[in-house]
Amino acid sequence: MAPGLDSTKEELHAYEEPFLARGMATLAIDGPGQGEAEYDIPICGDYERAARAVCDWIEDRDDLDARRIAIWGVSLGGYYAPRAAAYEKRIKACIALSGPYEWEKIWDGLPELTRETFRVRSHSASDADAKQKARALTMVEAAPRIRCPIFVVTGRQDRLVPASHAEQLARSVAGPVELMVVEDGGHNANNRPYRYRSRTADWLAAQFGLPKL
């Protein structure tokens, strides 16, 4: 489970609970530029490197099923998750919440605090440098490589990442896709969590042959 730009692995408990309730193990991580990792490893566009390390770790354990690995991401993590699924083929399903399709395309309209957070966590010297690095966070080439099932969630009232980015991702993937637009939802549809959290957990359970609640 991949957190967003200014969140950490410790904040994902509420998101994890529906999956745990259905018998799925969860692993929340701080990837490049996130949480504990931000001080040593800058944000990167190729989040599949972090996903590869996690998949390697899972394969080394005898208490987890490495044949049924999914990735979930929220906000900027909603970019990281499908990006990883495009290139790390051990990932068999993906859930993406409110991620950007092209981060640089919405850069100028982002709140100043969001841009500054990205600048710091990408280890950029200036706003211009950060905007240049933001160009690496793009799904243009990656999305058509996604062949595993993917569930995309967005809020129509999202003022940070427009819902059109989720719609573009859903149109661009090569594999099975389910798009859920919460019409009165904001960023991550977190003002309407009951609309999607159980549904995405049931969807993932179905992908892996587990019972729904």
Catalytic residues: 75
At 194, the amino acid letter reads Y
State the Cα–Cα distance between residues 166 and 154, nearest whole angstrom.
6
State the Cα–Cα distance between residues 146 and 93, nearest whole angstrom.
10
What tokens appear for 69 in the block?
């690995």
Task: Answer positive or negative: Cα dihedral of 212, 69, 136, 145.
Answer: negative
State the Cα–Cα distance between residues 101 and 161, nearest whole angstrom.
9
State the Cα–Cα distance between residues 60 and 169, nearest whole angstrom.
32
What tokens appear for 114 in the block?
């969001």
Diameter of the chain measured on Cα atoms? 50
State the Cα–Cα distance between residues 25 and 56, nearest whole angstrom.
16
What tokens appear for 8 in the block?
């950490």
| Triad 74, 79, 85: Cα angle to 5° | 105
The helices-and-strands tally (H runs, E runs) of the chain is 7, 4
